[in-house]
Structure 1
């Protein structure tokens, strides 16, 4: 349960920071000024898209928090057998970091209207994300080849479920990223491209944080850290 509380607290802090940065807590209907000078429809659409993504991330974060809670409870049963993590997971982690960094670079390029750098960043992010998903499938194949099947042990089932759900969310993000690449390729309006790239970058950063947390749970880093904290407090 301790790991899930840490996860929820981290998500809450990130969510509050992100909302404050995006200006979603402002009240534009109370602001004064000349209506003709305020691009309300465009700003409203941008804020609505960011708010929608924020709500979606909150739901996804709650889902993973519940799964991690179930993981923490189930692993206390005597029949639990830890799954040896394939080494390819560390390479996959590097690919996801590169993908997130590439999208951040694309976002910076979109803000500066640097079209070439934008396309390079978007394509690099997509390739690295596909490499991550391919590496996840390879990790599954290695585990099944070693006899760690889905139904063999509860730990096996949780590993496949956690990594699989994370992979599905990244796959859905690739669909959105492909549409963003198509927008940039067709030379869409800079404001629309910046919004799409920004939303994709935020989603990728979120999935990277979730992956770090999942990796720490699967490698028992969280449990070790909590045990150390308990010993220090006692």
Structure 2
């Protein structure tokens, strides 16, 4: 419950900031002057695609917040046995960080108009993202081989469900990233390339942040954070 309240508070702040950017608090009927001198009300300077992505990420964030809240609540039960964290997850985390860094590199190069460097950076981001998914599957197989099957314990079920949902979102992002990489490689729509790369970078950064929170949760570091949240709420 604490995690949900914190997420809703952050989301409310973001929505409030966005509303101020829309001039929703302006009162044009109080403005004086000639009709030709009155400035027309402008909407958000953000492209529609960025606004849409922001709304989608807010929904995804709410989904994972619910998962985390359920995880913390269920872990307090007596039949909960924590699942060991494979060392491979540390490698996978580093790979996902590398993918995010590569996309930030591609974003900077796209705004400079360096198409060849952008293509290289996008390829690096694409390959590392695929490696992350492969590493996650290998980590699953290691745990199942060690006897930590899906229905054996609630902790196992939560781990496979949450990491699987995160993997599906990474897979969906790979589709868009692959299309952007293909366009950069073939030179299609060069004027739209910076926006496409920017969207891919934002999505990857968000999914990296989600994974870091999940990794801390599975490693047991989330218990201290949960206690802090309870103290803030109470």
With normalisation by structure 1, the TM-score equals: 0.83
Distance 2:193 2:132 in 1: 25
TM superposition shift of 1:224: 2.1
TM superposition shift of 1:225: 3.9
Equivalent positions of 1:208-227 (< 5 A) are 208-227=208-227
In structure 1, the residue matched to 2:116 is: 116
Runs (5+) with no aligned partner, structure 2: 29-37
Offset from partner CA, 1:20-67 (integer Å, 9 cap, x none): 9xx96468xx9948xxxxxx9xx98x7111111111101111110111
Distance 1:19 1:128 in 2: 33
The alignment partner of 1:220 has SS state of coil
TM superposition shift of 1:77: 1.1
Offset from partner CA, 1:74-116 (integer Å, 9 cap, x none): 1111100100010100000000000000001001010000112
Q: Which has more radius of gyration?
A: 2
In structure 1, the residue matched to 2:204 is: 204
In structure 1, the residue matched to 2:49 is: 49
Runs (5+) with no aligned partner, structure 1: 34-39
Distance 2:16 2:136 in 1: 31
Summarize the Cα distance change of 1:52–1:214 in structure 2 as closer, same or farther, 3 Å threshold.
same
In structure 2, the residue matched to 1:145 is: 145
Equivalent positions of 1:58-97 (< 5 A) are 58-97=58-97
Distance 1:158 1:229 in 2: 21
Summarize the Cα distance change of 1:2–1:229 in structure 2 as closer, same or farther, 3 Å threshold.
closer
Distance 2:11 2:95 in 1: 23
In structure 2, the residue matched to 1:157 is: 157
Equivalent positions of 1:117-196 (< 5 A) are 117-196=117-196
What is the RMSD of the two structures over their aligned residues, measured on CA atoms?
A: 3.1
Question: Quick check: 1:7–1:213 contact (8 Å CA) kept in 2?
Answer: no
Distance 2:134 2:229 in 1: 37
Paired residue total: 220
Summarize the Cα distance change of 1:228–1:49 in structure 2 as closer, same or farther, 3 Å threshold.
closer
With normalisation by structure 2, the TM-score equals: 0.83
